[in-house]
Amino acid sequence: MKDSDEIRAEYAVGKRLDMEKYILVVLFLIQQRWSYTINKEFQKDQITIKQWLMLIVIGNAFKNDPSMQEVADAMSTTHQNVKQLATRLETTGFLKIERDPNNKRILRLKTTQKAEEYWESKAQEHSESIGSYFKDLEDSEVACLFQIMGKLERSSGKLYNEAKNI
């Protein structure tokens, strides 16, 4: 198998499209590898990476307790997928599923005290873990990547919404 530096060098001398192809493949490889390692880390806490992501989204992306559909939209997934994740998180005590008092058809998701205590107890461990994913980058590279990822996230959101409306 070719060394990753060798592969990157081959694409770097090519056209923009060649570099974009390389970036796309590498993003998927990184996602696969990080999913594996993060799932291993959370295994002892009986949380999956998808459950972890959902807790992060619920805790940070909304001003009020979101509905399942709002969480599904934020995570670019289905209502059914969110319901499955939420049910498991409710079973483990990290989440509460409650009916909206104004519209009984809407189920709202609310993190629990157990979830807050979990995040507090794991803050140092999680900081070290996150830092390990970016340890080879300089501060300026992290800042640049932060800006680039923001642009890619917005662009991917537009493409996702366009694809959903087809």
pTM for this structure?
A: 0.83
Predicted confidence (pLDDT) per residue in 8-49, tens digit: 787 777 788 988 998 999 999 999 999 999 999 989 888 999
How many domains does the chain contain in total?
3
Which residues are bridge partners to 145 per DSSP? Answer: none
The residue behind tokens 């619920």 is 58
Q: Is residue 100 part of a domain?
A: yes
Question: Do 89 and 53 share a structural domain?
Answer: yes
Residue with tokens 């959902």: 54
Contact yes or no for 58/111 (Cβ under 8 A)? yes
Q: Are residues 58 and 104 in the same domain?
A: yes
Does one domain contain both 109 and 58? yes
Q: What six digits make up the tokens of 19?
A: 């570099």
Phi then psi dihedrals of residue 109, to 5 deg? -110, 130
CA distance 45 to 129: 15
Q: Are 142 and 107 within one domain?
A: no
For 92-151, how does the pLDDT look when each residue is reduced to its tens digit (9 = 90+)?
A: 999 999 999 999 999 999 999 999 999 999 999 999 999 999 999 999 999 999 999 999
Look up residue 17 and give its two tokens: 């499209």
Residue 146 lies in a domain: yes
